[in-house]
């Protein structure tokens, strides 16, 4: 006998994205972060991919890369001085670029997280990202 919908208990949803499909070895990845140490760490963790790893230290650098290079996955910090990762995400969506977007932050405001999810991005904190790579 089926359980009535009103009685079903769905598992609690977390605000983070546990279903994140990690970049595959053949995929090109763009990492965007204004912190040179974290950027270098991610570049080392992602090194050896057939699709390549590109880095950008700002949203404007990331836009330059996206204008000239095919990318499958963008991993972007949220809080950067010139513009946020959400600004980059908005640019990607406006352009209709067919890529996955991962927004990372050490402390992401809840409204920014909701905006990222609404735009179809994955959201992880930086430590969680490092653990998954």
Decide if 48 contacts 66 (C-beta within 8 A). no
Q: Which domains occur in the chain, in start order?
A: 22-132 (3.40.50.2300)
- Which CA distances in Å does 96 have to 27, 92, 93, 100, 116? 18, 6, 5, 11, 16
- Length, in residues, of the chain: 133
The predicted structure's pLDDT at residue 47? 84
Give all strands of the β-sheet with 53-56 in edge-to-edge order. 53-56, 29-32, 73-77, 100-105, 122-125
Alpha helices by DSSP H, listed for 47-105, are 59-68, 85-95
* Chain segment 16-68, per-residue pLDDT in tens: 444 566 677 778 999 999 999 999 999 888 887 777 899 999 999 999 999 99
More confident residue, 49 or 100: 100
Percent residues over pLDDT 90 in the chain: 57
């Amino acid at each position: 006998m089926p359980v009535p919908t009103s009685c079903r208990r769905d598992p609690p949803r977390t605000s983070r994205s546990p279903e994140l499909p990690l970049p595959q070895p053949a995929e090109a990845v763009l990492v965007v972060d204004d912190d040179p140490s974290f950027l270098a760490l991610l570049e080392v963790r992602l090194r050896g991919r057939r699709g390549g790893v590109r880095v950008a230290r700002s949203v404007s650098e990331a836009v330059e890369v996206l204008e000239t290079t095919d990318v499958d996955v963008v991993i972007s910090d949220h809080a950067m001085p010139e513009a946020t990762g959400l600004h980059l995400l908005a640019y990607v969506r406006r352009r209709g670029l067919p890529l996955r977007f991962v927004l990372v932050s050490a402390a992401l405001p809840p409204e920014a997280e909701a905006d990222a999810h609404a735009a179809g991005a994955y959201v992880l904190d930086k430590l969680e990202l490092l653990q998954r790579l």
